Each structure stands twice: as structure tokens, then as C-alpha cells.
């Protein structure tokens, strides 16, 4: 079993007093992994298969059986078989035995059965790791979705304050006769529209917080804030190629599918063992009163020992073995088909994630330039309006554009992180992604 990636990523991470205000994505992922019922079911599947593997291994080991018994009869009479030969009636009978048995040959059924069980265990372990990565990805996705709502809310709060200041300035200018009533009303409408958008953002942030808290099993009070996303960094073409090349190696879903194929192949070989004889060695020691191995029986303790080899061969079984082999062959073909499908899906997810990351990086670059332009435009148009060289509607449009651009940059920064998480998950390298 390869080391679970979680041990590498979250061993030293703990929720504690140090997270009084800022909640790190690593801490959230750890909490989600600890709280996940789906991951717990996957762990129990592994435990059940480990127990089943021990059962299969038991068939290859010697067995020791101890037996003891006592029987009491009434009304028995001596039986005469002839002159001088009398079988005495023994009404109290006792016996004890120890028998050691070892399967010597079963046509490969046991050997391949053990290998099949081991491969199935590896498949379930990889499936458990796949579930863990899926939970970690969902945790990071919800965390950064919450972060996008928080930072977008901050951008709208700043925009609302800026528009409120402009509305107050227009009201003052109207009182001084420097602005019309229509301009003051237009500024008030823009302020109300911005505040309405701000309320929508607050609801979205509360909903994202609740979803994250439910997934992690945590209480997220209002003073908890997400971590700022790191600086966006481009991913070179060589890096994208490395992600794609390693995806089939690192993705636990692909590893689980490969182990399932191996298990199905070993099970197919194990079923063919039904066509061969089974040979078993037996050793037995018994002590009884009377001992049935002695004739005529005597009312006294006697010992006997046995060493033997037995062979059984089902020459005709009504086609049972053939049907089992055919079923195992079909299961193998199904496992191979699932492996091919999984590999194609993994490679497609990597390609899609690469395209998505490049797109979000480009969007962030454009949004940042647009925000800078919108900010300069607000200053220029505002000065022109105060000088009587621009319409007030141009000022309002510039303010609205700046609000959109600020919100867009806040969302685009988080979108880059989400795209990186998606790419790391698709390539099976989520443990290396620390946005």
C-alpha cells in the first residue's frame, strides 16, 4: 500500500487558538477529512477486505482440530460372535483426539486466491485515497468559494462607501446650486442599487459559510475570515506536460482500477484450480475408552495414531467449474474496460483543468488592467464633471464600471486558486497544491 497522501499533507496541521481570525485552507481540509462520513465508509471497506484477506490466507495454513467426548448408554448387553468371542457391553465411552491437516495442492486455487485478495485490498486502499482526495478537493472548493464571496463582499462594501461619498458630495453641490436635483436623484439610485447588490453578496457569503461549516463539521463565527489567495503565477508548458504525464501514475482512481484488473486476473486463475485434484496431508492422534480401532473392544484406554495423504478430484461437477471460470473471465474483461475508461477520463480531466487554469490566469490579467483603467476613469470623469465638461451620467457609469471591475478582480484571483486546485486534483497531486 502506498502512503496515503493525507499523511504527507496534514500531519502537522491542527485547529486551535492560533486560528482566532484567519482560517487556513489546510485546517479546513483536515476538519473535512475527519468529519467525512463517505471517507469513513471507505476506511471500513478497507478494514472489511483486510479481514477477508486473512480468511483467504487461513486456507493456506495448517489447521489443528481438537475433539473430546463422553457418551453413556443403558440397557446394553454383551454380544457373542462365536465360541470364545464376546463383545462386551461398554456403557460408558470416552475419547479425545488431535488432528493436524495441511492442504498441499489445489491447482493454484489457494495461491491465486490469496493474490486476488491482496490485489482487492490494494484496490480498496487506492479507492479510499481517491475518496480522501475527493473530500479534500470539495473542502478546498467550498473554502475558496467562501473566500470569493468574502472578498467580493469586501469589494462591494468599498464600492458602497465610495458611492455613498459621491452621493453626499452631489447632495452638497445641489444645496450650493452646483448640481441639479436629477443628478442628486441619479446618485441616490446608484447608491441604492449598490447597497442592494451588497445585501445579495452578504447572503451569498452567509450561504457559502454555512455550506463550508456543514462539510467540515465546524462552527464558523462571523469573525473567521479566509486566507488571502496567493499571487497568481503562470504555469509553463513543461509544467502542464508533467502534470499530464504523471496523472495516470498519481491518480488513486487509476491505481485502484489497475489493482482491480490484477485482482480479477488472479481470481480467474484461482477458479481454474477447480479442474485439478486437491491433495491434503493429515496427521491424527486419538486416545479413547474403548478405542474403535481395536477389536474386540476393551473397557480400557487405548491410543492410536494416523498419518495419511488424501486426494480428491471432481472429475464431473455438472459444469460448475467451467461456469465459474467463464464468470471470472467476464469480470476480468469488465475490469479492463473500467481501467481504460478511467485512464481516458483522467487524461481528459487534466486537459480540461489545464485549459481552465490558463483561462483564469488570462481573465485575471485582463480584469486587473480593467480595474486600473476604471479607477483612473472615475477620477478623470469626476474632475471633468466638476468642471462642467462631462455629464453626471458619465460619472455614474464610471462608478458602476469600477464596482464591477473591483468585484471581478476579487473573484478572478480566487478563480485562479480554484483552477489550480482542479488541476492538482486531476493530476493526483493535490497534496502539493498550497494556494
Question: Does one domain contain both 55 and 73?
Answer: no
H or E segment at 225? strand 225-226
The answer on 125 and 83 residing in a single domain is no
Domain range spanning residue 325?
A: 21-61+110-273+321-432
Q: How far apart are CA 171 and CA 225, in angstroms?
A: 36
CA distance 256 to 124: 7
Closest CA to 309 of 111, 104, 108, 62: 104
Q: Are residues 237 and 268 in the same domain?
A: yes
Same domain for 362 and 256? yes
Residue 416 lies in a domain: yes
Query: 51 and 153: one domain?
Result: yes
Verify that 308 and 424 share a domain, yes or no: no
Q: Is residue 5 part of a domain?
A: no
Same domain, 267 and 283: no
Q: Grid coordinates 487558538 are at which residue?
A: 17
Q: Which CATH number do you get for residue 265?
A: 1.20.1600.10
Cα-based angle 399, 207, 159 (whole degrees, multiple of 5): 15
Q: Does residue 288 share a domain with residue 188?
A: no
User: How many structural domains are present in the chain?
Assistant: 2
Query: 223 with 92, same domain?
Result: no
Is there a domain that residue 13 lies in?
no
Does 16 reside within a domain? no
Q: Is the same domain home to 126 and 76?
A: no
pLDDT 10s per residue in the chain (435 long)? 344 444 333 333 333 333 337 888 999 999 999 999 999 999 999 999 999 999 999 988 999 999 999 999 888 887 777 777 778 888 889 999 999 999 999 999 999 999 999 999 999 999 999 999 999 999 999 999 999 999 999 999 999 999 999 899 899 988 988 888 898 899 999 999 999 999 999 999 999 999 999 999 988 888 889 988 876 555 555 566 677 778 888 999 999 999 999 999 999 999 999 999 999 999 999 999 998 888 778 889 999 999 999 999 988 889 999 999 999 999 999 999 999 999 999 999 999 998 999 999 999 999 999 999 999 999 999 899 888 888 888 989 999 999 999 999 999 999 999 999 999 999 988 874 444
Local structure of 301: helix, strand or coil: coil
Amino acid at each position: 500500500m502506498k502512503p496515503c497522501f493525507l499523511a504527507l499533507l496534514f500531519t502537522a496541521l491542527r485547529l486551535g487558538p492560533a486560528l482566532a481570525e484567519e482560517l487556513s485552507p489546510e485546517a479546513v481540509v483536515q476538519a473535512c477529512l475527519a468529519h467525512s462520513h463517505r471517507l469513513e465508509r471507505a476506511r471500513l471497506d478497507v478494514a472489511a477486505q483486510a479481514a477477508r484477506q486473512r480468511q483467504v490466507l487461513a486456507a493456506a495454513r495448517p489447521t489443528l482440530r481438537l475433539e473430546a467426548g463422553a457418551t453413556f448408554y443403558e440397557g446394553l448387553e454383551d454380544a457373542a460372535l462365536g465360541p470364545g468371542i464376546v463383545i462386551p457391553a461398554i456403557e460408558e465411552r470416552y475419547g479425545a483426539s488431535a488432528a493436524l491437516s495441511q492442504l498441499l495442492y489445489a491447482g493454484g486455487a489457494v495461491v491465486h486466491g490469496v493474490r486476488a485478495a491482496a490485489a482487492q485490498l490494494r484496490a480498496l486502499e487506492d479507492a479510499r485515497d481517491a475518496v480522501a482526495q475527493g473530500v479534500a478537493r470539495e473542502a478546498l472548493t467550498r473554502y475558496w468559494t467562501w473566500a470569493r464571496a468574502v472578498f467580493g463582499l469586501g469589494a462591494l462594501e468599498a464600492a458602497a462607501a465610495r458611492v455613498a461619498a459621491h452621493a453626499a458630495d452631489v447632495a452638497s453641490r445641489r444645496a450650493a446650486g452646483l448640481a441639479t436635483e436629477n443628478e442628486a436623484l441619479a446618485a441616490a439610485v446608484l447608491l441604492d442599487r449598490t447597497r442592494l447588490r451588497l445585501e445579495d453578496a452578504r447572503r451569498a457569503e452567509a450561504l457559502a459559510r454555512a455550506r463550508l461549516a456543514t462539510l467540515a463539521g465546524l462552527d464558523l463565527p462571523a469573525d473567521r475570515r479566509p486566507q488571502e489567495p496567493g499571487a497568481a503565477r503562470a504555469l509553463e508548458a513543461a509544467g502542464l506536460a508533467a502534470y499530464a504525464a504523471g496523472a495516470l501514475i498519481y491518480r488513486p482512481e487509476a491505481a485502484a482500477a489497475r489493482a482491480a484488473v490484477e485482482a480479477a486476473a488472479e481470481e480467474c486463475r484461482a477458479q481454474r484450480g477447480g479442474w485439478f485434484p486437491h491433495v491434503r496431508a493429515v496427521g491424527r492422534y486419538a486416545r479413547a475408552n474403548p478405542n474403535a480401532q481395536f477389536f474386540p473392544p476393551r473397557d480400557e484406554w487405548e491410543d492410536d495414531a494416523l498419518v495419511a495423504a488424501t486426494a480428491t478430484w471432481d472429475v464431473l461437477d455438472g459444469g460448475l467449474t467451467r461456469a465459474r471460470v467463464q464468470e471470472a473471465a467476464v469480470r476480468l474483461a469488465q475490469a479492463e474496460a473500467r481501467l481504460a475508461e478511467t485512464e481516458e477520463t483522467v487524461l481528459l480531466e487534466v486537459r480540461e483543468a489545464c485549459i481552465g487554469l490558463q483561462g483564469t490566469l488570462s481573465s485575471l490579467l485582463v480584469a486587473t488592467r480593467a480595474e486600473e483603467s476604471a479607477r483612473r476613469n472615475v477620477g478623470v470623469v469626476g474632475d471633468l464633471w466638476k468642471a462642467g465638461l462631462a455629464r453626471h451620467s458619465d460619472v455614474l457609469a464610471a462608478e458602476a464600471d469600477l464596482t464591477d471591475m473591483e468585484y471581478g478582480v476579487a473573484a478572478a484571483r480566487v478563480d485562479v486558486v480554484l483552477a489550480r486546485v482542479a488541476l492538482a486534483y486531476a493530476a493526483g497531486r493535490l497534496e502539493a497544491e498550497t494556494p
